[in-house]
Structure 1
Amino acid sequence: MIGEWRTASGTALVDVFLWLEDGAGEKVVYPNAPRGKAFHGMGAYPADAPDKQWIEWEIRSDLLHGATYQVCVSVLPEGSGDGPNIQNADVKGLQVGFEY
């Protein structure tokens, strides 16, 4: 999974939460945790900045060949708390779909 982020202007430190859902975006596939994979204190900059604004994380679970999945990312100000409850069906991160 790869999550990307940036600011509209200025710079900030952010907490990034990354998870994988099924193709319909209804069920969390990975990780088996309530908040997703957390990356705290990441730098966020405008799009033209040369700084790294992405994170890659290995999916440590078997996926089905031919199945569609959604990579979800939630970006919050640094120290905002535990992050989204990804097991709640109403919680949706910015999603990018792919077929495995």
Structure 2
Amino acid sequence: MPSSTLSRSRSLLQPLRFGRIGSIGIAPSHQCLGLGRALMRAAKTSVQAHGASEIRLEVWTFNVAAIALYAELGYAVRSHNMAKSLTPAPEVTTQVHDYGIP
């Protein structure tokens, strides 16, 4: 059974039913139309219908628009997920082609 800390006074071993949003994305051409908000509402409804008392997600720190939306919807930072690459980043090259199209 999953466990979590809901507040500083609760044990890490206390069972808690929660839902998790694995991934959500809106095509750039459809952003700012309320679709993200609608998807988040639907996820909340589904999680509640399954008896969970909490919903969780992860968001990349560079995605400031999503972070702002989640904050508006009442989500708060609870932890920081950190990573360190053990291999050098691949060299990025860009190729530009001129096809003569104006």
Q: TM-score, normalised by structure 1?
A: 0.26
Structure with more relative contact order (C-alpha pairs < 8 Å, separation 6 or more): 1
Task: Report which of the two has the higher share of strand.
Answer: 1
